[in-house]
Amino acid sequence: MTAYAVMKSVPSNRPWTPPTVYRALKRLVDAGLVHRIESINAYVICAHHQHRGAAAVIAICRSCGGAEELAEGCVFEQLTNVAQPHGFRIEQAIIELTGQCARCAERPLAKSTTAEDARRELTG
Ligand SMILES: [Zn+2]
Ligand SMILES: [Zn+2]
């Protein structure tokens, strides 16, 4: 969700102003309830309700624009292993993945080459 979409979706008698929305979003980000997605300037609700001390892995679909936080597993530990020899202490790790979500990948595209077409081409 963009800050503008958030502003539009909050029911209120008085219209919210952008500074109010950005302040509220910043508070949610600081509390670990929401993640900011830098690459598309948007926000996503934390999949863990309250994010603490782990990498946030966010999958962003280029087709539908959807964003979802994925279970991070041991990513933070691996990044710590990379940073530690350099004396770097990680405070926050947000990894933004760009690609196609399962729903969009399933949708057949008009002129795309399917795996079956490729196999036929290879075998003649
Ligand atoms: Zn999270
Ligand atoms: Zn998608």
Q: 65-114: per-residue pLDDT in tens?
A: 999 999 777 888 999 999 999 999 998 889 999 999 999 999 866 445 56
Q: Considering every ligand atom shown, identify the ligand nearest to the alpha carbon of residue 60 and give its number.
A: 2
Nearest ligand to the CA atom of 29: 1
User: How are strands ordered across the β-sheet holding 56-61?
Assistant: 67-70, 56-61, 94-99
Give the separation between CA 111 and CA 104, rounded to whole angstroms.
Answer: 15
Domains with residue ranges and CATH for the chain: 3-102 (3.30.1490.190)
Whether the predicted model's global pTM rises above the 0.75 cut: no
pLDDT in tens, 99-113: 999 999 998 664 455
Give distance in angstroms: CA of 6 to centre of ligand 2: 20
All residues with CB under 5 Å from ion ligand 2 = 61, 63-64, 66, 101, 104
